[in-house]
Structure 1
Amino acid sequence: MILADGITLLCSDLQVDPQDIVMVVVSWHMKASTMCEYSKEEFFTGLKALGIDSLEKFLERIPFMRSELKDEQKFREIYNFAFGWAKEKGQKSLALDTAIGMWQLLFAEMQWPLVDHWCQFLQARHKKAISEDTWSQLLEFARTIDSALSNYDAEGSWSYLIDEFVEYLNENGIIQDGDSSHSTQKL
């Protein structure tokens, strides 16, 4: 097993911060089952799939892996992978603090303008672990609903938590009806 200390050394060799989003992409390629660790099989299978057999080749592949986040389908796969990878072994839900950290990392890449409000809302009102359903639906919400919520349908099939988030935005004057001063990048 390569554990947190080994991954920190790998990051040092790759000249990337261990909390850089590219390490999520690396772990996705490794098909890693748990954050901060790689089994020998995960590591070597991932390297082989990426065509990496030296540190130099690994360094050369970093820009490619970073660019994969710009591909809508790959971003979705990486996003969905992150839920299972980041949750504690044996848990069905993702700890709130971990989910918030992952959302801030992933949505910074996607440039979803409501991510900070979402995280504040969860800390103020939810304070519980995040289900896989909520995790998945949030990506769809961020991709399809503009940041002014002008195309949000309260009768839609969003999870209760997303509906409560929209209410929170309206109650706190973050979004007003007809507010189009916010823009969002769609993937």
Structure 2
Amino acid sequence: LTSGAIWLQNRLRREQRELVQRFVQCTEAQEPVALQCLSQNAWRLDAAVDDYYSSPAKYDERLSVDTRKVAALFNSYRSQDDPDRINPTGVCRLLDDLRIDPVSLTALVLAWKLQAGVQGEFSRAEFVTGLGRLGADSLDKLRSRLAQTERALAQDVGQLRDLHAFTFDFARESRDSKVLRAWPSLIDDFVDFLKSKLIE
């Protein structure tokens, strides 16, 4: 921690220190990032986590992306027929390279974070914008950010609601898609999460 961050940490109320620790546990961010993000979001944990994951580069310079690397990554999976789209074959190769099961929650999280409009495809804009938001310009970074995002779902009801809403619309788009296999698991996770929040 910098001397300024240490001074600020010492000036925090007990509740704020606990929020910093919860933020760090949820996001695996450093404490100075947690302090900055929480203070900019009125010390509301849900809002801070949402903000952190929706604009990671704003809080951590290490998350800024090299747009040339993102473009090269897109190009390595894009369709030969439509150079502005990754088709289902390319998506399967991407998931395989990421070591993600196509019917897993992680695959759904990827589609959600890229705000995919069509199942089994990513447009250039979705891919580039989504990876920028995630702060990922390589497969390793993308794998890491997806794992962080998935872990955060257990802590953040707002993110879980967003994923739930996205999944509902995404699943309606095609009744025979593999994403429907992840749907029961997602509902179970959502119900368990809500139950745990009600018990607290």
Match of 2:181 among 101, 108, 118: 101
Alignment of 1:86-97 (within 5 A): 86-88=171-173, 95=175
Q: Which has the higher contact order (CA 8 A, sep 6+)?
A: 2
Q: TM-score, normalised by structure 2?
A: 0.49
Match of 2:109 among 25, 32, 48: 25
Cα deviation for residue 6 of structure 1 reads: 1.1
Q: TM-score, normalised by structure 1?
A: 0.52
1:66 aligns with 2:150: yes
| Higher helix fraction (1 or 2) | 2
Gap change, CA 1:100 and 1:58, over 3 Å in 2: closer
Alignment of 1:1-187 (within 5 A): 1-70=85-154, 71-88=156-173, 95=175, 101-110=181-190, 112=192, 143=194, 185-186=196-197
Aligned to 1:87, the other structure's residue is in SS state: helix
Look up the match of 1:161.
Answer: none
1:153-179 CA distance string (max 9 Å, x none):
xxxxxxxxxxxxxxxxxxxxxxxxxxx
Q: CA RMSD in A?
A: 2.7
Contact 1:35–1:85 under 8 Å retained in 2: yes
Cα deviation for residue 36 of structure 1 reads: 1.1
Contact 1:82–1:102 under 8 Å retained in 2: no
Cα deviation for residue 61 of structure 1 reads: 1.4
Gap change, CA 1:98 and 1:22, over 3 Å in 2: closer
Separation in 2, partners of 1:11, 1:109: 22
Contact 1:69–1:109 under 8 Å retained in 2: no
Gap change, CA 1:101 and 1:41, over 3 Å in 2: same
Cα deviation for residue 186 of structure 1 reads: 4.5
Count of residues in Structure 1 that have an aligned counterpart in Structure 2: 113
Separation in 2, partners of 1:45, 1:9: 20
Listed as ranges, the gaps of 5+ residues in structure 1 are 89-93, 113-141, 144-183
Dislocated runs of 4+, deviation >2 Å: 94-103, 107-112, 184-187
Gap change, CA 1:95 and 1:185, over 3 Å in 2: farther
Separation in 1, partners of 2:121, 2:179: 18
